[in-house]
Amino acid sequence: MEIVLNWKMEKSHLEEILWCKENKEELIKLSTNNHFFILCPSFTSLQTIKEIFDKSEIEIGAQNCSQYLLGSHTGQVSAKSLKEIGCLYCIIGHSETRTELNENYYQIAKKTKALISQHINPIICIGETREEKDKNLTLDALAQQLEPIVQEIINLNVKEIIFAYEPVWAIGSGNTPLASEIYEITKWVKMYLKVTLPEVKTKVLYGGSISSRNIDELKNIFDLDGFLIGKASLDIQEIKKIVTSKGK
């Protein structure tokens, strides 16, 4: 299964490098155990961390990219640059990015296309807000998020695409949906994409407050392809417990 370690902006560049040097051996050891790590540090650390994990199974991913391929876009980072430094994955549409950078799913769809053009795997975050959940609008919200993405890539020759179901209310809150709810939503997302993009293999990860306390429950969810982990991914002991959990 895919284990995405989303470091957000929790550490500085030097702190990220130090963490990798200190925990390199342990992380490589854990990655052999049927778990495939995608480590997503800040932009500034990507290249150095790629070098640190050279010749290992651990891949690096960015936390965002520009919707444009090139040009006058001050402050942005292109998918092409990410590709050139060996980045094979990129998280897009994270709720923190959507909120703080005022981003919508039409832009996220364009980012998806930009990444695919550079043969980078997008990890596309989708998820409902607390309010949408309370009003029973989770699936409507997800359909609205997925639709522009489907429209943008329907005619591209995409083989595989990764989605991360991340309920906005679960991120950083200590709360998670029930395992049965995650199962139903994963099933629904896969079905939606099977109908709209029948040629594309879809993986669905879950993200939001994953830790050693709830991993046993989450590991049992049928057909879930992995996890996107925020806070717990900064602690090698937590990563170890998450990876070694056998489920309930």
List CB contacts of 84: < 8 A, sequence separation 6 or more: none
Residue showing the smallest CB distance to ligand PGA in the complex: 230
To the query of whether residue 35 is one of the catalytic residues in this protein, the response is no
Helix axes 138-153, 179-196, angle to 10 degrees: 30
Site string for ligand PGA, 90-129 (x = CB under 6 A): ----------------------------------------
**How near is the Cβ of 131 to ligand PGA at its closest, in Å?**
19
Which H, E and C letters describe 18-57, residue by residue? HHHHHHHHHHHHHCCCCCEEEEECCHHHHHHHHHHCCCCC
Cβ nearer to ligand PGA, comparing 54 with 100: 100
Burial class (CB in 10 A: 0-12, 13-18, 19+), 248: exposed
Q: Among 6, 63, 121, 186, which residue sits at the site for ligand PGA (rule: CB under 6 A)? A: 6
Neighbours of 55 (CB within 10 A): 6
Task: Report yes or no: 232 and 10 within 8 Å, Cβ to Cβ.
Answer: no
Cβ nearer to ligand PGA, comparing 78 with 95: 95
Instruction: Tell me 169's DSSP state.
Output: G
User: Which among 94, 132, 152, 238 is annotated as catalytic?
Assistant: 94
To the query of whether residue 119 is one of the catalytic residues in this protein, the response is no
Q: Among 39, 124, 162, 171, which residue sits at the site for ligand PGA (rule: CB under 6 A)? A: 171
Among 25-33, 142-150, 165-173, 238-246, which window interacts with ligand PGA (CB under 6 A)?
165-173
Footprint on residues 200-229 left by ligand PGA (CB under 6 A):
207-210, 228-229
3-state secondary structure of 97: helix
Q: Which residues bind ligand PGA (CB under 6 A)?
A: 6, 166, 171-172, 207-210, 228-232
Active centre residues (catalytic): 94, 166
